[in-house]
């Protein structure tokens, strides 16, 4: 107990390494490559970060995630994997530095990393010293295999070790938002994960940024909320969804760590990642995290919403109709024996999350001649096979989050479904296949900027087009015009009085810069420019006042000297 309180008191000291004045920008290997990383891949990515122009717009960290390490030497020093990193880590660090980049590395506050490689628990000082000697600039510190030791103790230990190592290293705490890390993260690290891991799909991405939004007041220069790395470009979302993803991360002051293969990205993805006007919101020096200020539920009573597909996951069995499934002779699997069929949305060849939609079995004009709704439940091997892609089975893709997709059949435990004909349920590990409705709402997110402007993101979370409106009094000013600029289109929209509204497609967002206009003697001027003029005038007045004080002091000094000289001369005359 004494040790525990010692660590708590110790954690009240700030990291104070001078880093993270704005959110970090760079690239991380995990989202795209997982453990499939090599020395050559990292070198190629270093080259690509420069050649694509990504480094020019601010992406300067090249971070390798889990699986670079293999074991420890006899003296306890960490050993890079001799197969995938035969020349070690330092030559890569030096190569990144030679290109004007910074280098980041990964470890874990446990005995083992999440992929089963050596962790840093108990080796904090040895590892921190090693990283410093290599010239490492960034450490992502994960939370697996932690022996149930308090996060404060484990993450403070590495913070202190980094200080002792004598090199300023950006310290990224990755304890998945546990133990109220937002309340002590800034005293310990430069960023802290607020959420579970991201996956490359719309629903998970939205859940994560909504969770991150709850911690907005804790972020600022030197320490940032981290909703995990970017999935932009990995193929699981549409271009509009990726633009929304990037915009939400930017306005939320999240670290912008690219997670795709930048050696092979499309121009559309590059355009998203290199939009300098949106990056400017993220890097604005004021450091206020943008947040959701308005959420408007969409009226779902209209008939058009009956045709909206609903995603399918596994959840705690509750006996409700969302978990009732009927296997039909036509190949369909129907929810609650109604006109809603399990399907692969849009016959997507990507690993898209499965859903339920209005049944169209037998209609050859539909997607895949309706085979995207045809399945075969094999009672022998307990798999649910797609008849559109016959080598794919219904799969739970994460044991942590329970998303369901149609993936290549491997017949492992993530594809084994028990069908109970009495309950009409598909079960896996005591959880049931369940229909979930997406969040149908529009939202407004706002960030205050250093030039008295505002970054504003208008978002349609709905499955159909919807109108989104922002009123100036919701931001904090009213009864005036404001200048609007569309940051995705990079064009001015003109002056708008009191409000602005726009119709957005499903999952589309519009990112605006809104600048209030002030009228001085019928002359309009942007508030930011006006305040800069005021500051300049104030500085000028201060200078004039200081000059006057100096003149007065000089005058008084000269006057005293003159009076003293006059008194001396008078005294001589008298004598």
Active site (catalytic) residues: 142, 197
CA distance 551 to 304: 79
CA distance 133 to 317: 53
Query: Which residues lie below 8 Å from residue 185, measured CB to CB, with a gap of 6+?
Result: 173, 191, 192, 218, 223
Neighbour count for residue 441 (Cβ, 10 Å) = 15
CA distance 464 to 70: 49
H/E run at residue 208: helix 202-213
CA distance 142 to 111: 11
H/E run at residue 127: helix 124-134
β-pairing, 418-420 with 191-193?
A: unpaired
Computed over its alpha carbons, how large is the radius of gyration of the chain?
30
β-pairing, 138-142 with 170-173?
A: parallel
CA distance 321 to 437: 13
CA distance 62 to 170: 13
Per the listing, tokens 């699981």 go with 236
Residue whose C-alpha is closest to residue 58's, from 7, 87, 28, 101? 101
In which region does residue 287 sit, left (phi positive, over 0), alpha (psi from -120 to 50) or beta (all else)? left
The answer to whether the beta carbons of residues 61 and 262 sit under 8 Å apart is: no
């Amino acid at each position: 107990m004494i040790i525990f309180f010692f660590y708590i008191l110790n954690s009240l000291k700030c990291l104070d390494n001078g880093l993270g004045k704005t959110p970090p920008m760079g690239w991380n290997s995990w989202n795209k490559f997982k453990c499939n990383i090599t020395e050559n891949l990292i070198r190629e990515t270093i080259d690509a970060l420069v050649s694509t122009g990504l480094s020019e717009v601010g992406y300067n960290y090249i971070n390798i995630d889990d699986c670079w390490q293999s074991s420890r030497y006899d003296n306890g020093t960490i050993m890079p994997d001799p197969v995938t990193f035969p020349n070690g880590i330092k030559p890569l660090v030096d190569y990144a530095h030679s290109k004007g980049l910074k280098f980041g590395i990964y470890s874990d506050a446990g005995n083992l990393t999440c992929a089963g490689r050596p962790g840093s628990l108990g080796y904090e000082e040895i590892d921190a010293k090693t990283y410093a000697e290599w010239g490492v600039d960034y450490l992502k510190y994960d939370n697996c295999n932690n022996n149930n030791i308090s996060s404060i103790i484990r993450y403070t230990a590495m913070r202190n070790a980094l200080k002792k190592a004598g090199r300023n290293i950006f310290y990224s705490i990755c304890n998945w938002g546990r133990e109220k890390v937002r309340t002590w993260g800034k005293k310990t690290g430069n960023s802290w994960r607020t959420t579970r891991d991201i996956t490359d799909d719309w629903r998970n991405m939205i859940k994560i940024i909504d969770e991150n939004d709850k911690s907005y007041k804790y972020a600022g220069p030197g320490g940032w909320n981290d909703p995990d790395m970017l999935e932009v470009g990995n193929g699981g979302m549409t271009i509009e969804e990726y633009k929304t993803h990037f915009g939400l991360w930017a306005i939320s002051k999240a670290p912008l760590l690219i997670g795709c293969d930048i050696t092979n990205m499309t121009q559309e993805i590059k355009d998203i990642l290199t939009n300098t006007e949106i990056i400017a919101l993220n890097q604005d020096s004021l450091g206020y995290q943008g947040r959701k200020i308005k959420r408007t539920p969409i009226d779902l009573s209209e008939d058009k919403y009956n045709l909206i597909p609903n995603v399918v996951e596994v959840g705690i069995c509750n006996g409700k109709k969302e978990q009732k499934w009927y296997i039909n002779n036509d190949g369909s699997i129907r929810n609650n024996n109604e006109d809603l069929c399990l399907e692969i949305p849009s016959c997507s060849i990507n690993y898209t999350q499965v859903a339920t939609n209005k049944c169209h079995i037998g209609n050859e004009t539909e997607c895949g001649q309706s085979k995207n709704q045809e399945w075969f439940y094999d009672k022998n091997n307990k798999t649910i096979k797609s008849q559109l892609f016959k080598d794919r089975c219904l799969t739970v893709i994460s044991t942590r989050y329970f998303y369901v997709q149609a993936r290549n059949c491997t017949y492992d435990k993530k594809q084994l479904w028990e069908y109970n004909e009495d309950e009409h349920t598909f079960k896996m590990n005591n959880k049931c296949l369940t229909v979930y409705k997406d969040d149908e709402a529009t939202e407004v997110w706002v960030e205050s900027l250093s030039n008295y402007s505002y970054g504003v993101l208008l978002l349609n979370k709905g499955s159909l087009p919807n109108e989104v409106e922002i009123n100036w009094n919701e931001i904090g000013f009213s009864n005036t015009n404001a200048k609007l600029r569309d940051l995705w289109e990079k064009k001015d929209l003109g002056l708008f009085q009191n409000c602005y509204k726009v119709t957005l497609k499903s999952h589309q967002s519009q990112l605006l810069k809104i600048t209030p206009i002030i009228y001085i003697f019928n002359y309009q001027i942007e508030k930011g420019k006006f305040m800069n003029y005021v500051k300049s005038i104030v500085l000028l007045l201060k200078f004039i006042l200081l000059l006057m004080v100096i003149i007065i002091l000089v005058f008084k000094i000269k006057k005293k000297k003159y009076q003293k000289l006059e008194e001396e001369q008078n005294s001589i005359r008298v004598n």
